[in-house]
Structure 1
Amino acid sequence: MSRFRKLSHTIWHCQYHIVWVPKYRHRILTGNVGHEVGNCIRVFSQQKEIEIVEMNIQPDHIHLLAMIPPKVSVSDYCGMVKGRSAIRVFNKFKELKQRPYWGNHFWTEGYCVDTVGLDSEMIRKYVKYQETQERRMEQRSLF
């Protein structure tokens, strides 16, 4: 099976590693909030025909490895996912909006994006096992 995908006039393989964080990097993406954010990302990605290869939600950031077709810009995708997920999270968890540091913003303004070439398997493993590595580092720092 070819790694390339097809559109009506395009053959493509556009894979991106995207990372973004909540405002002030608060460790808020746990429990129900983290679960809701993950659901939002899956639903909104599916609507734009974007395949999530790997996703890891840490308490203070999100790693996403996604196949984004060339008809969708990475900037538009990130803006859509961050904006719509913020609206849903604030509507579902109204107590978050009451905190003085949130205002009307759940995410920071920017994001980090990297194109994935032939080393996609290495990046996929990195995203998948990021949580394990972070736990090890936290345990080491306790001693």
Structure 2
Amino acid sequence: MREVCADFEVELREFNGEDDHVHLLVHYPPKVALSKLVNSLKGVSARMLRKEFGTHVRDHQSGGRFWSGSYFAGSVGGAPLTVVKQYIEQQNRPV
């Protein structure tokens, strides 16, 4: 995740997740199209996970896809970053 963010000149500030999703707190410049960043994060991570955990990953795919086609993005411009980081840190690590 960090390498993809660096390629987009995006700062990955926090990363964590649940059994079925992940949370990323990123700081990105206005020139970055969020949909392109998310697409790259999903694509690169899916390829890496398939390579490392092949059979196990295939057993948990939905319709041949590792990630859902959807994502949620929220702006936290008014919230203190410490609160958002604390929320993400309290999530379970992705499997």
TM-score range, shorter chain: 0.7 to 0.9
Aligned amino acid, residue 78 of structure 2: L
Please point out which of 27, 30, 40 is paired with 1:80: 40
Structure that is richer in strand per residue? 1
2:60/2:66 contact within 8 Å kept: no
Partner of 2:65: 105
Following TM superposition, where does structure 1 have runs of at least 4 consecutive aligned residues deviating by more than 6 angstroms?
none
Report which of the two structures shows the higher radius of gyration computed on alpha carbons. 1
What's the TM-score once normalised by structure 1's chain length?
Answer: 0.56
Aligned residue pairs, count = 91
Aligned amino acid, residue 91 of structure 2: Q
Structure 2: segments with no counterpart, 5+ residues: none
Shift of 1:72: 0.9
SS in 2 for 1:59: coil
Query: What is the RMSD computed on CA atoms of the aligned residues?
Result: 2.0
1:8-19 correspondence runs (5 A): none
What's the TM-score once normalised by structure 2's chain length?
Answer: 0.80
2:50/2:58 contact within 8 Å kept: no
Partner of 1:127: 88
Question: Equivalent pairs: percent with the same residue?
Answer: 31
Structure 1: segments with no counterpart, 5+ residues: 1-40, 132-143
